[in-house]
Amino acid sequence: MTRAILYARVSSDEQNKGSSPDDQIRRCGEYARTQGFTVVAEIRDDYTGYEFERPGFDKVRQMIAKKEADTLVCLSGDRLARTVFVVGRISSELLRRYRVNLHFVSRGRVDYDSPEGEFIMLMEAVGNQYWGTKAKEVMKNGRRALVQDGIKPGQGPTLYGYAKSGDRKETRE
């Protein structure tokens, strides 16, 4: 019997709109059923993938260390981690150490044991790191453009130095 932990991660409210943790868990659950896995936990994380230590992933690590699961299922590599460094730590301190199988719904079982498999996993991590960093840059530039156009970024309380007039996208200083 293969015991699987389903893991979902988002780091911003914006991501909740396109691929919420519940949607990720649903898709991971469908994948697990088709593979014949027994789901022992569904863990949702609302934390950056640039960090190894995060609340939900710490639970995953604890369960695996206690040998409560032998398989980890994630939607894709970018939902597991966003940097090569974090993927390397996950590979050495979790997957290899406890002989855990890793599955991505997007591509199936991840081979991290062979030199070719490790290369592919790390190259995917390089891509995830690039696209994550690029997305941050685009968002930063977008916020800067809003401010330059006189639009208060975000909603909520008025920031010091601003006087709010208008609603949502029409908000001006």
Whole-number Å distance between alpha carbons of 30 and 39: 10
Q: Where do runs of H (alpha helix) occur along 42-152?
A: 55-65, 77-80, 84-90, 97-98, 115-148
pLDDT at residue 148 is higher than 90: no
Position with higher pLDDT, 69 vs 170:
69
**Which tokens in the block code for residue 19?**
């691929």
Which range (4-13, 14-23, 26-35) has the least confidence?
14-23
Alpha carbons 49 and 164: distance in angstroms, whole number: 34
With a cut of 70, say whether residue 171 has pLDDT above it. Answer: no
Model confidence at 50, pLDDT cuts 50, 70, 90, reads confident
**Is a pLDDT exceeding 80 seen at residue 119?**
yes
- Considering 12-26, 72-86, 123-137, the range whose residues carry the highest mean pLDDT is 72-86
Q: Look at strands 108-110 and 101-104 and give their pairing.
A: antiparallel
